[in-house]
Structure 1
Amino acid sequence: MAIEFASRSVPLERRLQTAAVLQWVYSFLALAQTCIILFFVLLFTRFWIISVLYGIWWFIDWDTPSQGGRRGPWLQKSVVWRYLRDYFPIKLIKTADLDPSKNYILGFHPHGVLVAGAFTNFCTEATGFPLLFPGLTPYLLMLPLWFRAPFFRDYIMSGGLIPSDKESASYLLRHNKGGTALVIAVGGAPESLDARPGAFTLLLKNRKGFIRLAIENGAYLVPIFSFGENELFDQVENPKGSTLRTIQEKMQKLMGVALPLFHARGVFQYSFGLIPYRKPINTVVGKPIPVTENSNPSSEEVDHLHKLYMEKLSELFEEHKTQYNVPADRHLTFI
């Protein structure tokens, strides 16, 4: 295979965009592991006191991620994220106002490989979330595992991330009487195994936990479809029943994280690597679905709202798909 190298005349602006994406990919794939190694390595150097003091702080601060986290506006406003936004580029599209006196659960679809749209739109201010939805504070849910990594936990909390368990989500909805927007990539890690260009398969048919959470707390539901999310990477073929898929699913159940074998381009060449393609992402936020609070909803109530949610998500997709170059004969598939 011939390697296509990047031109030396690439403008500085584009080089900075690539650098921003490179650090983001590294943060997503390896920063947690780097922080864990650093924590233990420091213990065997003259800087051991750093790890010891952090360990004490970590013990005192253990419950913070589950109690709303600790946001860092300095990080969310960083110029780095504007370069990340412009690399693709990524846009946040509003279709209706969201009343800041209400709480919301925003269902994000599809998960994609690295949830680029969810991170950029809701963990940074690069696409203008505070301007589009004044009075709302977004919190993106992430696997609880990552909040057990020293140093890394503080970094991701600064971006407004919280653990994706029911207790952490319920805490915010109970304690904040309005203005909270929980963003949930409903398909989760398993859905990333089907994330490839042209795919419109969503792991949603039996995902009802977020529906029950909404009813129990009276939080309005908002469907979101991020057009272009699956176009960023190619993935090794892994159809259901294949040896690779079986191994990936077993690893996912064992570790809690999916391991899609994805690839795209490199930093200095366009033929292979882990840097995403420059494909536009248009994240469309749908209209809110009113929810009546019930601390003990029945299965029928959950099923009814779940069916309504899927209908509204499909309507959102159908209404906007041709605008974002999705063929008219393509439709969402729920599994």
Structure 2
Amino acid sequence: MTNIMCSSSSSSNSSISSNRNNNNISGSSKWKIIDRAQDSGFLPTVAVTLWLGWNGFILWIILYAIFLAGNWQRMIIIGLATLSLVLPVDFPGTLGHRLGDWIMLQAEKYFGLKTVIEDEDDLIRHSKQNKAIIFAFNPHDMLPYAVFAFNPILRRFPGICENGVALMTSSVFNIPFLRHVYSWVKGKSVDKRTFLGRLHNGESFTFSPGGVQEVLLQDPSKPRDVILYLKNRKGFVKLALATGSPIVPVFGFNLDGSYGYWFPRGRLIEKISRSMGFAPLVFWGRWFIPFGIPNPRKIHVVIGPAIDVPNEGESVTQESIDKYHGIFMKELDALFNRHKHEVGYGDRQLKII
């Protein structure tokens, strides 16, 4: 299967501009900027609730079934949950995907999505070569929902066509109801088989390499540190080298503040989090609703130049992995520093551990 190069034209009512306030940054004249006017009104809020509100919906359903429901109500809830796990993950097919497309277009408004591509021509070059592009999104934060910027319905990035997806923890697809919603918005499991399969098929995608471990490293007492858990995250670099797939550093600004949160700390919690694929925590968003939708922060996603890697096939060496992983971290740090002043992060530091 080949990856057809697609347009990254903006959606309706978005503005495309050059970077006028770039502080004379070298090369910024060719940046492509798409900035969506923010609207957190009724319809965008409903759409984001249908997407991200399920975290809370499921919790309340469980609590209701345990403490308040009668026998028949409890049986109905258990039956619907079982049916959800039995049905295909993308049920009901086309109708679900159409709803997912609508949700993503409304989310673009809710978060006032702004994207900056530093070198679109290079991404187009890779797309024409039928290469899968790995968009490595950082930070993971509480929920890495800003990966929705790569949804193909938004048509923001070359290489992300109809089959473009966001890869996420496989545990999401083992949860009733939630598994269908994330399938509708083009989510798939980040397991090695899916990851490598997409690379071999030339199908681009985005994922967040920091994972759940990055959530546990957040420290409200040090708000100026932007912490990324990347030094030991080298598996994606190995797979990139095995297929010759370019890696693109991506940073999403303004995710912090989307949620307030609390979670217990300690090694046991870390082990539990890694085994489950998500952290046992309490978080609250808009209107302080526990496990609700995020505050309508204006999301600003910046995409750096692609990092070309050689195709080493089955002969990938640790030396190559370390080399290109180091290049990735260096490029990500530079990307952050090129854009941090524009979004009010001027006094903040990127801390990679």
Pairwise TM-score range, normalised by the shorter structure: 0.7 to 0.9
Whether 1:229 aligns to 2:229 is no
1-structure distance, mates of 2:84, 2:270: 39
1-structure distance, mates of 2:318, 2:181: 38
C-alpha change, 1:71 and 1:107, in structure 2 (3 Å) is: farther
Alpha-carbon deviation of 1:146? 2.6
How does the TM-score come out when normalised to structure 2? 0.71
Structure 1 stretches of 5 or more lacking a match? Answer: 1-11
Question: Aligned match of 1:293 in 297, 311, 318?
Answer: 311
**What is residue 112 of structure 2 aligned with on the other side?**
89
Alpha-carbon deviation of 1:18? 2.9
SS of residue paired to 2:278: coil
CA contact (8 A) 1:192 1:260 kept: no
Whether 1:138 aligns to 2:138 is no
Whether 1:201 aligns to 2:234 is no
Number of residues paired by the alignment? Answer: 293
C-alpha change, 1:273 and 1:105, in structure 2 (3 Å) is: closer
CA contact (8 A) 2:210 2:230 kept: yes
SS of residue paired to 1:107: strand
C-alpha change, 1:204 and 1:84, in structure 2 (3 Å) is: same
Alpha-carbon deviation of 1:278? 2.7
SS of residue paired to 1:322: coil
CA contact (8 A) 1:211 1:305 kept: yes
Q: How does 1:248-267 map to 2 (within 5 A)?
A: 248-266=269-287
1-structure distance, mates of 2:135, 2:342: 22
**What is residue 115 of structure 1 aligned with on the other side?**
144
Structure 2 stretches of 5 or more lacking a match? Answer: 1-38, 66-71
Whether 1:315 aligns to 2:334 is yes
Matched to 2:307, the amino acid is: I
CA contact (8 A) 1:193 1:260 kept: no
2-structure distance, mates of 1:149, 1:273: 15
Alpha-carbon deviation of 1:227? 0.7
SS of residue paired to 2:265: helix
Residue by residue, what CA displacement relative to the aligned partner does 1:144-199 show, whole Å, maximum 9, x if unpaired?
2232345543442232222111111111222x2x3x22211111112123446644
Residue by residue, what CA displacement relative to the aligned partner does 1:256-311 show, whole Å, maximum 9, x if unpaired?
32123333431xxx698744223211011111001111122111110000000001
2-structure distance, mates of 1:235, 1:43: 30
CA contact (8 A) 2:138 2:228 kept: yes
Alpha-carbon deviation of 1:22? 2.7
SS of residue paired to 2:105: helix
CA contact (8 A) 2:40 2:110 kept: no
Question: Aligned match of 2:99 in 75, 90, 113?
Answer: 75
CA contact (8 A) 2:137 2:206 kept: yes
Matched to 2:105, the amino acid is: R
1-structure distance, mates of 2:282, 2:176: 27
CA contact (8 A) 1:233 1:277 kept: yes
CA contact (8 A) 1:72 1:160 kept: no
CA contact (8 A) 2:228 2:351 kept: yes
**RMSD (Å) for aligned C-alpha atoms:** 3.6
C-alpha change, 1:43 and 1:14, in structure 2 (3 Å) is: closer
SS of residue paired to 2:302: strand
**Percent of aligned pairs sharing the same letter:** 26
Matched to 2:335, the amino acid is: L
Residue by residue, what CA displacement relative to the aligned partner does 1:114-157 show, whole Å, maximum 9, x if unpaired?
21211x212363xx3x2542664422111122323455434422
C-alpha change, 1:147 and 1:275, in structure 2 (3 Å) is: closer
Whether 1:27 aligns to 2:54 is yes
2-structure distance, mates of 1:135, 1:256: 26
**What is residue 294 of structure 2 aligned with on the other side?**
276
**What is residue 195 of structure 2 aligned with on the other side?**
169
How does the TM-score come out when normalised to structure 1? 0.74
2-structure distance, mates of 1:33, 1:163: 25
2-structure distance, mates of 1:216, 1:140: 21
